[in-house]
Chain A
């Protein structure tokens, strides 16, 4: 199974809402990632978890809060987002190489 799954596929939320994005992989990968991708732009790294510990936070605003409950799951909690946070949020995982497997993404719209 070389699949990374993400839910939901689409999410519309208001600026005062709290929501969560979920990501799951069953490849035994020890690193998991959150990326943000705006239209016509490359993915931008947000967070990296290695062995369930946060190892990289790319100066992401605190309204984005990652969580890694176990080695297969990665969440991104969202609170008080701004319209400019609307984007495709991608999850990825990797084992011992740079070859990161990406999920299909969650299309987030903040109104």
Chain B
């Protein structure tokens, strides 16, 4: 289930099940979206990205879905494993991106706990 409030939203799943982590973004003009995974004591690690001209992108065991109409992003993890336990952040980048600097705006994060 999920819990919100003073703590990070948490999603608890059984090992082997599929996980869906959701994110609402703020800027309808954002052009680029990215999911990061952050394990305890580590820096965020890139998982997958998607541009605004796409609505779905697949990676290895992960799929990102983008619904621009409702400004919603989701990350689906297939056959969730204990090693997937971490905090997952979505991030958005503004339109007209150019050059080598990307000013990302991070969402609040969701903690995924995988039960063996």
Contacts of B25-79 to chain A: CB distance below 8 A: 32, 34, 36, 41-46, 49
Contacts of B82-116 to chain A: CB distance below 8 A: 89, 91, 93, 97, 99-104, 106-109
Asked if B24 lies at the interface with its beta carbon under 8 angstroms from chain A, I say no
Q: Is the CB of A42 within 8 A of B101?
A: no
User: Which size class do B's interface residues fall under?
Assistant: 20 to 34
Report the tally of A-B residue pairs with Cβ distances under 8 A. 70
User: Which size class do A's interface residues fall under?
Assistant: 20 to 34
* Nearest CB in chain B to that of A95: its residue: B100
Give the residue among A45, A97, A98 with the most B Cβ atoms within 10 A. Answer: A98
Taking Cβ atoms with an 8 Å cutoff, the residues of A that contact B are 4, 29-31, 40-45, 48, 50-51, 55-56, 90, 92, 94-105
